[in-house]
Amino acid sequence: MQTIDKADTHPAIRPNFKTVTLLSVCHVINDSYMNLFPPLLPFIIPALGLSVSAVGWLMTFFSVTSSLSQLAIGYLTDRLGGRFFILLGPLVAAIFMSSIGLINNYVLMAIALSLAGLGIAAFHPPASALVGSIAESRSGRAMSLFTLGGNLGWAVMPLLAVPLVSKFGLTATPVLAIPGLIAIALLYTLAPPLSPGHPDANSSFMSIIRVQPRVFLCLLGTVAFRSLSFFGLITFLPKFLSDHGFSPVAGGMLLSILALSGALGGLLGGFLSDSWGRKPIIIGSLFLTVPFLNIFLLSSGWLMSLWMALAGASLLASFSVTVVAAQEIFPDNKAVASSLALGFGLGLGGLGVGLIGMLADSVGLDRAIAFISFLPMVAAAFAFGLPGRRNVDKFDYGSAV
């Protein structure tokens, strides 16, 4: 007799890895726009005459809209369904992010980055909710494949954007909108619908928060401090490397190594978490990041690439794992749970980038980078309060409703 998978109980979802593949490919394109601005900073800073602090606040504006807004989008997705957001996101991101090379005003740059961030944000909650609705026994693997797409996008964009701008100038950035238009065509043609969740889903979400506030705060703290270290690195490493004699192309390659190794680390972390549990993977990988980052800062030559790769893999090994952990904590609110792990927590971390920029202006960029290198340890400390996969299985959700 054929068994029915848990994912089949959702009215619009089947455990179809073709859907995961489609969303992962479009995740590559969507999230590539998140890493268009930082690699171009060596060109943008002199063009607009920006200070390090001004750059940090621009990144803060971007991270707030690309991350914090995901909580509202996740709420709407759980209540209304989310195919509209899946289609809208890459289009808005492509249009506004690819326009930054044409902008020569700080305020307009902040507006363009903020709107691009909203587009990037719109894609994540509904897309990750679709992925999370795949058979629960494979949720770690499915989510790791999805996040692999996003991290590959981070890795690919500097390799495309920096050589393009080096050869043709900042006015060539509109060409980079083309992948976003391709993603829209694929999603419009092939993406399945995403129906609303349970009618009482959001009341259930708030009930669980009231019953388990420690778990909720530990989830946010873990994601926030991990994201602060990541956003801090991608924002200030180009300037740091430029100050130490690296060319923009070399700096962009190191950022790509960070993102690509993070993609592979996230894939491995997701697979291992299905067997070992979420909590050990999250804590162990974050603790490993600290020595790898510090050895990177003390290295030179090709060894820098090696230690950057190890740091990126360990820093982002927990990326997909925290998303699945959030969905297991809030099983009836997958889109909102995803927005907490992919968006709201990231945005809280991104808020601190401007403060790190001010710190860099005050004590020097080298010391600010050294400070960033220890932030994953703070994230790991918060992760001790997470239930992990096996503990989540024992969590009595009925008592929270």
What is the residue-wise DSSP string for 274-311?
HHH-HHHHHHHHHHHHHHHHHHHHH--THHHHHHHHHH
Radius of gyration of the chain (CA): 20
* All domains of the chain in start order, with CATH: 17-400 (1.20.1250.20)
Residue predicted with more confidence, 39 or 82: 39
Per mean pLDDT, which of 92-101, 130-139, 220-229 is the most reliable? 92-101
Residue 96, pLDDT above cutoff 90: yes
CB-side neighbour CA atoms (13 Å) of 244: 17
Q: Residue 4: pLDDT band by 50, 70, 90 thresholds?
A: very low
Q: What token pair was written down for 172?
A: 């060539």
pLDDT of residue 368: 92
Residues 6+ apart with CB under 8 A from 192: 12, 13, 16, 19, 83, 130
Query: pTM for the whole thing?
Result: 0.68
pLDDT band at 346 (very low <50, low <70, confident <90, very high): low
Instruction: Provide the pLDDT for residue 15.
Output: 43
**pLDDT tens, residue by residue, 140-197:** 677 778 878 887 887 788 889 989 999 999 999 999 999 999 999 998 888 776 665 5
- The band of 389, judged by pLDDT with boundaries at 50, 70 and 90, is very low
The answer to which of 171-175, 255-259, 289-293 has the lowest mean pLDDT is: 255-259
Alpha carbon dihedral 364, 369, 370, 375, in 10-degree steps, equals: 130
- pLDDT, position 397: 35
Above 80 in pLDDT, residue 347?
no
For position 324, what pLDDT does the model report?
A: 80
Report the alpha-carbon distance of residue 238 to residue 194 in Å, rounded: 39
d(CA 265, CA 235): 21
CA 172, 178, 180: angle at the middle one, nearest 5? 125
Range 73-81 average pLDDT:
72
Question: 281-318 burial, b for 16+ CB within 10 Å, e for fewer?
Answer: bbbbbbbbbbebbebbbeeeeeebbbbbbbbbbbbbbb
Instruction: Answer whether residue 13 shows pLDDT above 70.
Output: no
What phi and psi values does residue 108 have, to the nearest 5 degrees?
Answer: -65, -35
- Name the band, by pLDDT with cuts 50, 70 and 90, for residue 134: low
Q: Using one digit for the tens of pLDDT, what is the confidence trace for 264-278?
A: 888 888 888 878 888
